[in-house]
Structure 1
Amino acid sequence: MGRRLAQRHSGRSTTEAMQGSTSIPRSRGSIPEAPSWMSSDRESVLLSNSPVKNFTYSQIPTSSTTGISPNSPLSIDRICSAALQPTENRNEGHTMLYVDSLLCTPLEKERLEHRPALEEIAAGGVGCVTVTVGFWEDATESMDQIVRWQHMAEDNSDLVEIAYTADDIERIAQSGRCAILLGFQNVAFLQGRLGYVELFARMGTRVGQLTYNIQSDIGGSCYEPHDSGLSRYGKYVVREMNRCGMVVDLSHVGNTTTIDAIRHSAEPVAITHSNPAELAPHPRNKPSEVLDALKDNGGVIGLSVYRNIVGEYTTAERWSELVAWTVDRIGIDHVGIGTDFDQTGGKAYLEWMRQGRWAREVQYGAGSKGNAGPQPRLGWFDDPSQFPNAETCLRDRGFVDAEVAKIMGGNWLEFYRRTFKKL
């Protein structure tokens, strides 16, 4: 299972810490420029010269939910110099950038009527979200969707603005608003036309998932009984997305197609909303060989809190254990958050998402016949307003400021800076 961080004993429970964090208004403030913790060379900030290889917190009580022993060792690569912890990332000031790499809420639908959902994003201090512009829509329908999102952003410009570059994200977040990245959970909008990659990139699309739940002309999905792998056309699409600065997202993509895409991509790729299958077995989650390939590619995974794919890791303590396991497996620079929140969609939206126009029979997606509808929330991280709870649980797990800042948003910002291109 690898190393697991024991909770640091702070004299208060995780629940108490979260209750305190959610009751205090938080504002984003400014984001430090080129902070040292964004460096991929972690050895420069670790106590690598210490002769002690493992630390034991003998006074830390055993957690009933994680099963971690009080004498569980903490490896040296978790213990950073206190002098290198950015004080501006402390709870009092909250200048840390929060990024959600996948939001499923259809905010474009009612324009002004969805203000409560936008206000949840603002209340959580979230500085950037990748939204779901579409699933099954063809090119014309997808352009209509982009227009709706543009109108939504204009109507709510006090809270959000569409971003096209990493610099846009920083500027918008520094203004106290949320940067919106336009993303699609399927590239059905291409309609087999390679030239549409650049067209949609120029219209602002920054993220494209290669497949969504079924086989396509690109490759296989995570639910196919036989994954075809990346097609010849799919290889052209991946390289064209690389050229145009459109992120290749592999969250719902089959494992064979995912490995093919990672190997074929000239740029880092993303898994925007998934979890490690070794901890939470599910077709939507990624096996360790995929996570290892993602690391070698320089990509990032957004760990999800969607009920159907978190397995038994539903509490704050257990979910932070899942995060720690993933960090231990692929490194701190490759892990972020992709909640997969749907704040307002409801049953009809869920049915469109899962079934589209391609089947008469009911499709259950990540659910099942006995578990078909919208899922109950986890109780501690239920919508964007509770993003501070994720920060709190990471700190309680033992991550230091620099590491928390990377997981909460810094890794995604650096990833976007490397992959977005101006055409």
Structure 2
Amino acid sequence: MVDMYEGERDAAQIARQIFADSIIWDTHAGVACRPTLDLGFVSRWRQGGASFVGLNVGWDALPWQESLKCAAHYRRWLELHSDQYVLVDRFADVERAKRDGKLAVALDLEGADALNDNIEMIGLYHRLGVRQMNLAYNKNNAFAGGCTDEEDIPLTALGREAIAEMNRVGMVVDCTHTGYRSSMEIMEISKTPVIFTHSNPRALWDHERNLRDDQIKACARTGGVVGVNGVSKYLARDEDCTPETVINHIDYVASLVGVDHVGIGLDAVLDPDEMPNLVKEFPNIWPASEASQWDYGSWSFIVPEQLGSIAEGLLLRQYSEADVKKIMGENFARVAAAVWM
């Protein structure tokens, strides 16, 4: 086979041009939600060349009141720093941010406990800037099953109502952290494309947080996208948390369902103490194997500054420039443009 690119220098130059011309989309960053958090760390996504990043304002370990406080705080913080960031309400805001050299930011929820069992809260969060949500975070709740719970429960009646309401208001349905049965039912009933914001194929790394092949195929049938994450625990051995390993997971999804259905959701945690502290603070949220056997300090992450290395690696593996643009942002942008109102 004749190489499409002469070497690393050629790939790096082409990757830089892709970043300059295209929307680069990291659909989910790992954030410890706090209503007093200084979001200045988001500048690292700008520095890494991203056009868009999603920030979670809540997860099922928090009381619903805290998620509301976080959403209000994040929105205000971003508005006060509008010289650098654009808070996304519509897809056109992402395009405007790209033109203006700013970073587009949307909010998301990891688990529907933030709704206080009331689907009317979905519209309120949407007005605050939440543009995607999954129904459960690892453990079962009133809406859906979690991917690490002992019992794989189906989607509940309340969960079905929540999906219909998300479809109505224009909020993207996410199935990351969601149990197998619930995720498959969600992908059957949603009237809009369903995504996995930060999930990897289980065929490459057998962890309950990762996806079976039929989940990946079901996602593609909805027109959705699987966002490959850069978290060591869900990629491979800790020492293999590299852009090359991320590309291996991208390769697998692209080979299984096509390049139109894979993207990036790094789930990057920038503070090295954050994950160990979260696992200690909320041990019931994590699988027993993680809480009891894993060294709290052994988490590692692909960070935003490595987005360019992922693009270069894809080019060196003979992905075309058009396909690299899809993986690095266009696929998730397509879903957002179709769903957001």
1:104–1:345: structure 2 CA closer, same or farther, 3 Å change rule?
A: farther
Is the CA contact (8 Å cut-off) linking 2:279 and 2:286 kept in structure 1?
A: no
Is the CA contact (8 Å cut-off) linking 1:214 and 1:224 kept in structure 2?
A: yes
Is the CA contact (8 Å cut-off) linking 1:101 and 1:338 kept in structure 2?
A: yes
Match 1:121 to one of 28, 42, 45: 45
Shift of 1:367: 3.1
Q: How far apart are the structure 2 equivalents of 1:179 and 1:262?
A: 27
Q: How far apart are the structure 2 equivalents of 1:315 and 1:353?
A: 23
1:374–1:146: structure 2 CA closer, same or farther, 3 Å change rule?
A: farther
Match 1:240 to one of 134, 144, 165: 165
What are the residue-to-residue correspondences of 1:52-71 with 2, within 5 Å? none
Deviations 1:187-242 (A, max 9, x none): 11211112111222122211111100111011111111221110111111111111
What are the residue-to-residue correspondences of 1:218-233 with 2, within 5 Å? 218-233=143-158
Q: TM-score, normalised by structure 1?
A: 0.73
Match 1:406 to one of 307, 321, 326: 326
Secondary structure of 2:217's match?
helix
Aligned to 1:415: 335
Aligned to 1:394: 314
Count of matched residue pairs: 338
Match 2:126 to one of 201, 206, 209: 201
Q: Which structure's CA Rg is the greater one? A: 1
Shift of 1:376: 4.5
Asked if 1:317 corresponds to 2:244, the answer is yes
What are the residue-to-residue correspondences of 1:32-71 with 2, within 5 Å? none
Q: How far apart are the structure 1 equivalents of 2:186 and 2:280?
A: 23
AA of the residue aligned to 2:98: A
Q: How far apart are the structure 2 equivalents of 1:258 and 1:203?
A: 26
Aligned to 1:79: none
1:192–1:171: structure 2 CA closer, same or farther, 3 Å change rule?
A: same
Give the root-mean-square deviation of aligned CA atoms: 2.7
Deviations 1:281-315 (A, max 9, x none): 11000000111111111111100110000025634
Q: How far apart are the structure 2 equivalents of 1:362 and 1:231?
A: 20
Asked if 1:132 corresponds to 2:52, the answer is no
Secondary structure of 2:54's match?
strand
AA of the residue aligned to 2:59: F
Match 1:91 to one of 2, 9, 17: 17
| Runs of 5+ unmatched residues, structure 2 | none
Asked if 1:373 corresponds to 2:296, the answer is yes
Q: How far apart are the structure 2 equivalents of 1:287 and 1:198?
A: 32
Shift of 1:250: 0.6
Q: How far apart are the structure 2 equivalents of 1:411 and 1:387?
A: 16
Shift of 1:388: 0.9
Report percent identity of matched pairs.
Answer: 24
Q: TM-score, normalised by structure 2?
A: 0.89
1:177–1:189: structure 2 CA closer, same or farther, 3 Å change rule?
A: same
- Of the structure 1 ranges 265-274 and 186-195, higher mean CA displacement relative to structure 2 is found in 186-195
Q: How far apart are the structure 2 equivalents of 1:256 and 1:265?
A: 14
Asked if 1:164 corresponds to 2:84, the answer is no
Match 1:250 to one of 175, 188, 192: 175
Is the CA contact (8 Å cut-off) linking 2:72 and 2:128 kept in structure 1?
A: no
Is the CA contact (8 Å cut-off) linking 1:262 and 1:297 kept in structure 2?
A: yes
Shift of 1:369: 2.3
Q: How far apart are the structure 1 equivalents of 2:42 and 2:162?
A: 33
Deviations 1:60-109 (A, max 9, x none): xxxxxxxxxxxxxxxxxxxxxxxxxxx8x753872222110110134866
1:345–1:244: structure 2 CA closer, same or farther, 3 Å change rule?
A: farther
Is the CA contact (8 Å cut-off) linking 1:133 and 1:145 kept in structure 2?
A: yes
